[in-house]
A and B are shown apart, each in its own frame.
Chain A
Amino acid sequence: QKEVEQDPGPLSVPEGAIVSLNCTYSNSAFQYFMWYRQYSRKGPELLMYTYSSGNKEDGRFTAQVDKSSKYISLFIRDSQPSDSATYLCAMSGTGSARQLTFGSGTQLTVLP
Chain B
Amino acid sequence: GAGVSQSPSNKVTEKGKDVELRCDPISGHTALYWYRQSLGQGLEFLIYFQGNSAPDKSGLPSDRFSAERTGGSVSTLTIQRTQQEDSAVYLCASSTNAGGQPQHFGDGTRLSIL
Contacts and interface: CB of A to CB of B under 8 A. Distances in A.
Interface in B88-113: 91, 93, 98-100, 102-108, 110
User: B-side binding surface: helix, strand, loop or mixed?
Assistant: strand
Contacts of B31: 98
Interface residues of B, number: 25
Contact of B48 (A32, A45, A46, A98): A98
A42 B107 contact: yes
A101 B43 CA distance: 8
Interface string A68-112: 000000000000000000001010111010111111110000000
Interface residues on A, range: 20 to 34
Interface of A: 31-32, 34, 36, 41-46, 49, 51, 88, 90, 92-94, 96, 98-105
Interface of B: 4, 6, 31, 33, 35, 42-43, 45, 48, 50, 56, 59, 91, 93, 98-100, 102-108, 110
